[in-house]
Amino acid sequence: MNASSGFLNLQQFTVVQPFIVYIYVKSTLQSNSSILSVRAFSGIRTHNLRFCLPSRNIQEAVIISGRKLARQIRNEARDDVEEWVSAGNRRPHLSVVLVGDNPASHSYVLNKTRAAAEVGISSETILKPSSICEEELLDLIEKLNSDHRVDGLLVQLPLPDHIDERRVCNAVCPGKDVDGFHVVNVGRMCLDQSTMLPATPWGVWEIIKRTGIQTLGKNVLVAGRSKNVGMPIAMLLHTDGRHERPGGDATVTISHRYTPKEQLRQHTQIADIIVAAAGIPNLITADMIKEGAAVIDVGINRILDPLTGKNRLVGDVDFEGVRQKASYITPVPGGVGPMTVAMLMKNTIKAAKSIILTPPQRVRMAASS
């Protein structure tokens, strides 16, 4: 079939008597062209006819199930916990401090404590009103730092405006900092050393590795430069794969709110991997990516659905459009989110295994190990 004219190109056709034609598609899977096989019957003679259909270049991305990968990681974590406990050690314990009444924060914390229970980690949620002063919160953190029963500690972000988040993150003992936000852990990550990695960037890295997406020598565009997500993702992807904390050996470009849209497009169109973590719905559209790019959507945005009149979750990527060109894509929800929680469980186990010393010794150990 000529793609422009719509006619069939006849490869073999010799029939001189009236005939009945049966048409069936022989194969469409082994190549991008379809072979139409025709069998013509005329009396006792059978004629095999072959027609070429036009090439099909339709490509649709593999949708990466973050839920499936997270389940795999939670199973690994459960086995790790049971082995640890069976060896005579105390069951790991996670303490979560939740300040205020933010519905999203409460939902995230509930997911974390449920995951902890599933893998065999005990947990507690400490609720504090949004009116709590910074010093009172810091005192609570210090108390939990000193409690030998607490292995992992996180303070759910965001915090009320009157509280300095950076000061709070740095108040958590590095050895208990399962969010990976303490300056010691951030510094060790930047130096390619073993440490508590931030859960969301680590989740993105695990998605890429476990899916088999190649990073060595590839071009990567990270949209978003936040210190908790965009920057750590860029660090994990560009650093040396031969170091203590192996990286992806990719060439990474970071864009941010002041990157002109046309310049962003230039970078995305040459990117083999795009990680969207800017918090802007539909920032990445199909016309901005090249065929076969892998697209990881970290964005979580609540928008009003015009059909239902209700809020719904979307990412930073135009999912339906981009999936027609990408090789891999993560959905929102169900992509990076479940992986974040799973990696938090892995960090809690890591913290439990390293906490054998007193708090000052733990800080020194985290800085030197």
Q: Kindly list the catalytic residues.
A: 112, 156, 179
Give dist(CA 87, CA 208) in Å, integer.
33
Q: Which residues pair with 125 in a beta bridge?
A: 96
Write the DSSP string, 2-21: -TTT---EESS----S--EE
113: Cβ–Cβ under 8 A, 6 or more apart, which residues? 94, 96, 123, 125
In the chain, alpha helices (H): 66-86, 103-119, 134-146, 165-171, 183-190, 199-211, 230-238, 261-268, 319-322, 336-354, 359-368
Instruction: Give the whole-angstrom CA distance, residue 103 versus residue 37.
Output: 60
Backbone angles phi, psi at 201, to 5 degrees: -60, -40
Q: How far is CA 210 from CA 44, 242, 363, in A?
A: 58, 18, 32
For Cα atoms 215, 198, 265, give the angle at the middle one, nearest 5 degrees.
Answer: 45
- Strand, helix or coil at 42? strand
Can you give the length of the chain in residues?
369
Q: Kindly state the greatest CA–CA separation across the chain.
A: 97
